[in-house]
Amino acid sequence: MAELIIITALLPLTALMLVTQTNPYHALVIRGILGAIAALVYALFGAADVALTEALVGTMLSITLYAVAVRSSMSFRLGVLEPGDEVLPEAIATALRQGLQRHHLRLERVGYGSEEALEGAIARQEVHAIFQSSAPATVADAQDRSAQTSAASHPPQLHIRLPRLHSLLQGELSPELAHLKLYES
Amino acid sequence: MNWILVAMIIALCIPIYEAWQDEDIWQKMLAFGSIATKTSIMILVISVLRDDWMIGVVGVLILSVGNAGLMLLAHVLRRLNQL
Residues B79, A69 contacting (CB under 8 angstroms): no
**Residue A2's pLDDT is what?**
80
The average confidence (pLDDT) of chain A is 80
- Closest CA relative to residue A28, chosen from A38, A18, A36: A18
CATH number of the domain that residue A151 is part of: 3.40.190
B25-50 helix and B67-78 helix, angle to the nearest 10 degrees:
170
Closest CB to A43: pick one of B43, B69, B70: B43
Q: What is the pLDDT, as a whole number, of residue A14? A: 93
**Domain match, A96 and A54 both:** no
Task: Using the 3D structure, point to which of A47, A72, A97 is the last residue of a domain.
Answer: A72
Same domain, A113 and A140: yes
Contact A63 B72 (CB under 8 A): yes
Q: Quote the pLDDT of residue A84.
A: 53
**Which residue range forms the structural domain that includes residue A23?**
2-72
% of chain A at pLDDT higher than 70: 85
**Which has the closest alpha carbon to A33: A14, A49, A52, A16?**
A14
Which range (A34-38, A118-122, A171-175) has the least confidence? A171-175
Give the pLDDT score at A151.
Answer: 47
How confident is the model over A119-147, as pLDDT tens digits? 888 888 888 888 877 655 444 444 444 44
Q: How far apart are CA B45 and CA B7, in angstroms?
A: 12
Residues of B in contact with A64 (CB under 8 A): 69, 72-73, 76
pLDDT at A30: 93
